[in-house]
Amino acid sequence: MNQETSIVGALESKQPTISIEFFPPKTEEGARQILKTAGALQPYGISFASVTYGAGGSTRERTVEYGKLLQQLFHYRVVPHLTCVGHSRTEMAATVDGLVAAGFSGVMALRGDPPHGDTVFRPAEDGLAHASELVALIRERHGRKLAIGVAGYPCKHPEAPDADTDLRWLAHKVNQGADFITTQLFFDNTVYFSFVARCRAVGITVPILPGILPLLSLEQARKFTGTTGAGALPPALEAKLGACGDDALAAREAGVEWAFDQVRELLEGGAPGFHLYILNRAKSALALFTKLREAGLTENKAPV
Ligand SMILES: Cc1cc2nc3c(=O)[nH]c(=O)nc-3n(C[C@H](O)[C@H](O)[C@H](O)COP(=O)(O)OP(=O)(O)OC[C@H]3O[C@@H](n4cnc5c(N)ncnc54)[C@H](O)[C@@H]3O)c2cc1C
């Protein structure tokens, strides 16, 4: 593990920050898989592990339960995600108090998506309307006890009328006390570099961790680019995955190669590290970490 004791310390250290994202499983098989993956990746210098919060607030208990397991069994620094969906301000405050009491290192403060089929987010009665309000609530109650991460969208949040408006709200969210931004996944690094430049131009100075997903198939690539606001699929990536046909192993290797090239260019271009969407699977992440180590890319951040 990165030797720094806190997430902010890890973000400021000379080593690249590596975070990995788990989701709380629903089945026994899923439970076995997350623990196996967590154990397999633990020796790879992970700065922190985050655990997602189900749509509609559906996994509140399991997010915390698996976060605690990752802390206790594997000594990860853990950052549970938390959304405002369906909770009043009082409930949000109690949940945040619980995260501090459980000894978590940080929290990913999110608004959450509107329920399936709705295009407009409606806060719960007496609830929070934006992630920025959650950031403010956490800082108000607990000072700097928790590191706070917030979401950033290099290709613009789907609900935002335009990129500049979205950026203005992102700056507001950070100003409420966020320590870092993790981006939505993307496959074309130019969108990250231009996003960082635009963030810096409006005075956002916190580290911006690029979100990387090692793809497993062309079908998966199309699903993610269609639904998550990940931006267009670069033609070269489409061709690379397309050339693998039905060969799942070849497609996984192609996904790792693309992710490796992305991470190498990002780190060399001054990214402070990267956030890996691992979908609770170990194989692609292990292959990627091994390649990064062999290339000496996990030792020192590039000067910016
Ligand atoms: C790294 C990452 C992790 C995620 N993890 C989860 C998860 O675990 N669970 C989950 O359900 N979802 C998760 N999401 C998805 C996220 O919840 C959705 O994208 C959601 O629609 C927006 O959340 P937000 O925190 O970015 O919201 P906000 O920052 O509140 O922004 C939402 C929209 O409102 C606008 N806005 C912000 N503030 C204001 C304001 N004061 N006035 C007017 N407009 C404003 C923004 O421009 C944007 O269009 C994640 C996303 C990312 C990138």
Going from the C-alpha of 59 to that of each of 65, 105, 183, 274, the distances in angstroms are: 10, 19, 22, 25
pLDDT of residue 138: 98
Please name the residue that has the structure tokens 């026994």: 28
> Residue 115 C-alpha to ligand 1 middle, in angstroms?
13
Tens of pLDDT, residues 257-287: 999 999 999 999 999 999 999 999 999 999 9
What is the C-alpha separation between 171 and 181, in angstroms, rounded? 10
Going from the C-alpha of 265 to that of each of 187, 193, 225, 273, the distances in angstroms are: 12, 10, 21, 11
What are the structural domains, with CATH classification, of the chain? 7-294 (3.20.20.220)
> Residue 149 C-alpha to ligand 1 middle, in angstroms?
12
Which residue lies with its CA nearest to atom 12 of ligand 1?
A: 112
Tens of pLDDT, residues 126-163: 999 999 999 999 999 999 999 999 999 999 999 999 99
Whether 174 contacts 150, CB under 8 Å: yes
Read off the tokens for 242.
């397309």
Going from the C-alpha of 204 to that of each of 168, 180, 197, 304, the distances in angstroms are: 10, 10, 10, 15
- What atom of ligand 1 comes closest to residue 112's alpha carbon? 17
Query: Does 184 sit in the ligand 1 pocket, CB within 6 Å?
Result: yes
Annotated catalytic residue, options 21, 28, 140, 159: 21
pTM over 0.85: yes
Going from the C-alpha of 269 to that of each of 14, 291, 300, the distances in angstroms are: 15, 18, 13
29 is catalytic: no
What is the C-alpha separation between 20 and 211, in angstroms, rounded? 10
> Residue 182 C-alpha to ligand 1 middle, in angstroms?
11
Tens of pLDDT, residues 204-240: 999 999 999 999 999 999 988 877 778 889 999 999 9
> Residue 242 C-alpha to ligand 1 middle, in angstroms?
32
Q: Ligand 1, residues 53, 84, 169, 274: which to mutate, most atoms within 8 A of Cβ?
A: 169
Geometric angle at alpha carbon 256, from 45 and 181, rounded to 5°: 55
